Amino acid sequence: MARHRTARVLTNETCNQNCAFCDTRRPRERREVVAPAALRSRLADAAADELVLTGGEPTLRRDLPAVVRIAKTRARTVVLETNGALLDAERLRALRDAGLDRLRVHLPDWAERCDAITRDPGGFAATRGALEEAERLGLAFEIATPIVAANAPHLTELAEHVARLAPRRWVLGVPHAGAGTLELRAGARALERAEAAARRLELPVALEAHTHVPPCLFEAPARMAHLFSLTPGGGERRGHARRPACSGCVAEDRCPGIPLAATLDGEPEPIRQDRVRRRLSLISTPEAQIARELFQDEVERLPGGSVREVRTVRVGFRCNQSCDFCFVSTHLPAAERDAVRGAIDEAAAAGMAIALSGGEPTLDPELARWARLAKAAGAPHVEVQTNATRLGDAVPVAPLLDAGVDLFFVSLHGSSAEVCDAVTGAPGTFVKTVRGLDALVAAGAAVRANFVLCATNRRDLVSTVELLASRWPGVELAVSFVAPSTDVVPRTAELIPRYTDVADELSRAIERADELGVVLRGFDSMCGMPLCLVPADHQRFFALAEAPDGYGRGEVFFAEACAECALRGRCFGLRQGYAALHGTDELRPVPER
């Protein structure tokens, strides 16, 4: 996927407000900035996916609707940064009709405290009125808040006010120059408080694109990773410099270091954990990463040799567990509701089955609505992929069944709390998954448990088969194999065992499942293992449909040993990441029978 490019175009440099920390406001305009011809030239040079019109205060320009029309020819999305105090219904309608996609409204605090920061008596009331008009006109808006000394103590309260406004997102920045700015580490602490408050309120947060806070200054960098778009090779940025202490940081090749205009007490502490680096790394921006991971199209091979297309839609990315093998960017905020709806509608219209996933999809209060939407749009099969920790308790099962969910695909990575909680990294959740499975079975839901074989649970598969047979007869078990499918997954032997190291346990589990009547599945998918390494009678796999030609290429491949294998057409091959870690010497081609 191509990188998402954002360009900022300066429309003017004067402003009707007078924030002490502003480093762009000038007392008068410069002709080389405000002249229409000069502005058109800058717009012509600024072709991008997203074009941000900024100032000064752009609404001081009378020709702003015309500027927006030109900008719209240069970008898919046009954003206007404004304090909103000069916008009324007529001007907002003109901007919307000219093609403006979104407002980014400057709101440093609430009520009188806001006016004190902007030094514009009555400005807050005018801004609030503009936001109300924008909502009436259906014009999307964001709230932008620079974190400075004056508002740092009030950010938790401000988050509650902002959440009630229901913006597309809350854009936070940490100015580095001007009066009243914070020392950089203090700014990081304040940003953490604001993000934590927003997370509790389910208010989407983003970090202002043209400001930078080095991730090493946060107490938990990975928790804040959804604010960043650090890309490999992005370690050089104008106005920034790395300090000697940055040497050896795992993010050194993608973090530009400390802003030269900022004040920092002490030295930064380099990040040493490789997984933190992976979570801080996105393809370009958080928005582009969300679009990339929102859905995934797959082909499911069904018993009897038939196939169906399936779209996995991530209704949210958050999760209440933390499995090391999870390939989802669980630190990302949820996609916009319209994007989720579009992904479902498109797939259903094409006759695809839909799997509602995450993160943990039961954290989305609209899960039943998504299932109902998928069914109404024509999806022949709707599945919910969940760890079941909230089912039967916070999330009742009946509304999901009424909405049309056909199958619950439940993560169950061990037969005991000791094993399962170690895999999920979430102590206390095994008992909740068990209660959720109890609730599903009691409600008559169709359930398939999913056990991801990894180094931690490699000796617990037989016990898990026995648990299913004794407690939930009739529940199927899918066996997946831990896969280094993205850079988020550590490529280590401590997580990913060799296939041959789990062969005996897998063989005993297959035999035990046959004895107890547990249907064992999973070898027919790319999340399984090469078919030549599945212990037991290989002939059962000859009934599989042919694997789609070229499916998964780039992630999986066929080694030299696969050339003469009778199952090659039905096998997905070997994952590139596995081969890099363990090689290909385990492969044993199956002869024609």
Mean pLDDT across the chain, nearest whole number? 91
Amino acid at 533: L
Q: Is pLDDT larger for residue 363 or for residue 287?
A: 363
Q: Where are the beta strands (DSSP E) in 468-559?
A: 476-481, 520-521, 556-557
At 4, the pLDDT band (50, 70, 90 cuts) reads low
| pLDDT at 279 (0 to 100) | 67
| pLDDT at 424 (0 to 100) | 94
C-alpha to C-alpha distance for 588 and 549, rounded to whole angstroms: 22
pTM of the shown model: 0.75
Give the DSSP letter of residue 565.
-
pLDDT over 50 (residue 554): yes
CB 171 within 8 A of CB 208: yes
DSSP result, 434-460: HHHHHHHHHTT--EEEEEEE-TTTTT-
Exposed / middle / buried, residue 90 (Cβ in 10 Å: 0-12, 13-18, 19+):
exposed
Give the closest residue to 544 by CA, choosing from 303, 298, 299. 303
At 446, the pLDDT band (50, 70, 90 cuts) reads very high
Q: What is the pLDDT of residues 250-285, one digit of tens each?
A: 888 888 999 999 999 999 998 887 666 666 766 666
| pLDDT at 495 (0 to 100) | 93
Of all helices (H) and strands (E), which one includes residue 81? strand 75-82
At 1, the pLDDT band (50, 70, 90 cuts) reads very low
Q: What is the pLDDT of residues 94-141, one digit of tens each?
A: 999 999 999 999 999 999 999 999 999 999 999 999 999 999 999 999
- Structure-block tokens of residue 337: 């509701």
Q: What are phi and psi of 346, to 5 degrees?
A: -60, -45
| Residues 6+ positions from 128 with CB-CB distance below 8 Å | none
Q: Is pLDDT larger for residue 432 or for residue 228?
A: 432
Distances (CA, A) of 472 to 211, 418, 502, 517: 53, 20, 25, 12
| pLDDT at 432 (0 to 100) | 96
Q: What is the pLDDT of residues 370-428, one digit of tens each?
A: 999 999 999 999 999 999 999 988 899 999 999 999 999 999 999 999 999 999 999 99
Write down all domains in the chain, each with its CATH number in brackets: 6-211 (3.20.20.70), 230-287 (no CATH), 288-542 (3.20.20.70)
Q: What is the pLDDT of residues 459-489, one digit of tens each?
A: 999 999 999 999 999 999 999 999 887 767 8
* Highest-scoring range by mean pLDDT, 162-171, 523-532, 567-576: 162-171
Q: Which of 37-41, 80-84, 106-110, 201-205 has the lowest mean pLDDT?
A: 201-205
- Residues 488-513, mean pLDDT to the nearest whole number: 91
Give the DSSP letter of residue 472.
S
Q: Which of 28-37, 538-547, 563-572 has the lowest mean pLDDT?
A: 538-547
Cα diameter, the chain: 86
Q: Which of 68-72, 118-122, 245-249, 369-373 has the lowest mean pLDDT?
A: 245-249
Q: What are phi and psi of 134, to 5 degrees?
A: -60, -40
C-alpha to C-alpha distance for 590 and 593, rounded to whole angstroms: 9
C-alpha to C-alpha distance for 410 and 413, rounded to whole angstroms: 10
| pLDDT at 363 (0 to 100) | 93
DSSP result, 20-74: TT-SS--SS--HHHH-HHHHHHHHHT--EEEEEEESS-GGG-TTHHHHHHHHHTT
C-alpha to C-alpha distance for 92 and 281, rounded to whole angstroms: 37
CA torsion, points 441, 443, 447, 451, in degrees to nearest 10? Answer: -50
| pLDDT at 593 (0 to 100) | 63
Q: Is pLDDT larger for residue 230 or for residue 195?
A: 195
Of all helices (H) and strands (E), which one includes residue 111? helix 111-118
CB 215 within 8 A of CB 224: yes
In the chain, what percentage of residues exceed pLDDT 70?
Answer: 95
At 2, the pLDDT band (50, 70, 90 cuts) reads very low
| Residues 6+ positions from 411 with CB-CB distance below 8 Å | 321, 323, 385, 386, 387, 388, 424, 433, 449, 450, 452
| pLDDT at 473 (0 to 100) | 96
